[in-house]
A and B are shown apart, each in its own frame.
Chain A
Amino acid sequence: MSGDADAHRGQGEDVRHNGHRPYGEIYEDPARLRRDGSISDVTKDGVRGERPGRAALVGGHDLTGGRGERGAAGSGGRHRGGRAGRKRRKGEQPMVPEAEFTSYYGRPVLNQPAWKAQNIAGYFFLGGLAGAGSVLAAGAELTGRPVMARALKVSSAASIAGSAAALIHDLGRPGRFVNMLRVFKPTSPMSVGSWLLAAYGPAAGTAGLCAASGRLPRLGRTASVGAALLGPAVAAYTAVLASDTAVPAWHDGYRELPFVFVGSAAAAASGAALLASPLAENGPARTAALAGTALENAAVKTMERRLGLVAEVYREGGGGRWMRAAEALSAAGAAGAALLAGRSRVAAGVSGAALLAASACTRLGVFQAGMASSKDPKYTVVPQRERLRAREREQQQSRAGARHGASDGEEARD
Chain B
Amino acid sequence: MTDSLTGGGSTGGSLVGRNLLAGAEDDPAGDAGHTGHPPRVGFFTDTSVCIGCKACEVACKEWNAIPEDGLDLTGMSYDNSQGLGASTWRHVAFIEQSKPLGHAHADVDHSGTDVLALAAEIPTGSAAAQPHAAGAPDAPGPPEADGRTELRWLMSSDVCKHCTHAACLDVCPTGSLFRTEFGTVVVQEDICNGCGYCVPACPYGVIEQRPHDGRAFKCTMCYDRLGAGQEPACAKACPTDSIQFGPLDELRERAEARVTQLREAGVSDARLYGHDPDDGVGGDGAFFLLLDDPEVYGLPPDPVVTTRDLPDMWRHAGAAALALLGGLAAVFAAHGRSTATTRRFRR
Contact = CB atoms under 8 A, between A and B. Distances in A.
Interface of A: 40, 42-47, 50, 54-64, 67-72, 74-79, 84-85, 87, 101-105, 107-115, 131-132, 135-136, 139-146, 170-174, 176-177, 179-180, 182-183, 185-192, 194, 196, 228-237, 239-241, 243-247, 250-251, 254-255, 258-259, 261-262, 265-266, 278, 280-281, 283-284, 287-288, 291, 295, 370, 374, 377, 380-381, 384-385, 387-388
A144 B202 contact: no
Given A44-B41, A71-B106, A254 B341 contact: no
14 contacts: A46-B246, A47-B244, A58-B102, A59-B266, A63-B104, A68-B108, A75-B99, A145-B338, A171-B214, A176-B174, A187-B170, A192-B8, A240-B314, A284-B335
B293 A233 contact: no
B300 interface: yes
Interface string B1-19: 1101101100110010000
Nearest to B328: A135
A236 B245 CA distance: 44
Contacts of B12: 186-187
B201 interface: yes
A245 B49 contact: no
Identify the interface centre among B100, B202, B292, B303: most chain A CB within 10 Å of its CB: B100
Contact of B309 (A132, A141, A254): A254
Given A55-B241, A78-B293, A135-B325, A42 B235 contact: yes
Nearest to A73: B100
Nearest to A101: B295
B338 A280 contact: yes
Interface in B129-173: 150, 167, 170-173
Given A59-B104, A188-B170, A244-B307, A239 B317 contact: yes
Nearest to B326: A232
B107 interface: yes
Nearest to B296: A102
B114 interface: no
B175 A173 contact: no
Contacts of A141: 345
A47 B331 contact: no
B181 interface: no
Q: Chain B, interface size: which category?
A: 35 or more
B341 A144 contact: yes
A104 B345 contact: no
A237 B194 contact: no
Contacts of A266: 324, 327-328
Contact of B302 (A84, A146, A262, A384): A384
A235 B108 contact: no
A139 B208 contact: no
Interface string B186-202: 00000111111101111
Contacts of A236: 317-318, 320-321, 324
A105 B94 CA distance: 10
B161 to A, nearest CB: 13
B24 interface: no
A113 B337 contact: no
Interface string B255-282: 0001001100111000000000000000
A174 B194 CA distance: 8
A73 B194 CA distance: 51
Contact of A191 (B173, B208, B297, B307): B173
B302 A385 contact: yes
Contact of A173 (B194, B197, B250, B322): B194
B180 to A, nearest CB: 15
Nearest to B340: A280
Contacts of B93: 104
Interface in B84-135: 84-85, 93, 95-109
Contact of B175 (A183, A243, A259): A183
A292 to B, nearest CB: 8
B332 interface: yes
B200 A247 contact: yes
A103 B60 CA distance: 26
B66 interface: no
A46 B214 CA distance: 38
A147 B5 CA distance: 33
B233 interface: no
Nearest to A67: B108
A74 B195 contact: no
A266 B258 CA distance: 59
B267 A288 contact: no
B306 A111 contact: no
Contacts of A62: 103-104, 266
B312 interface: yes
A145 B335 CA distance: 11
Nearest to B244: A42
B206 interface: yes
Most buried by A among B201, B292, B324, B328: B324
B262 A58 contact: yes
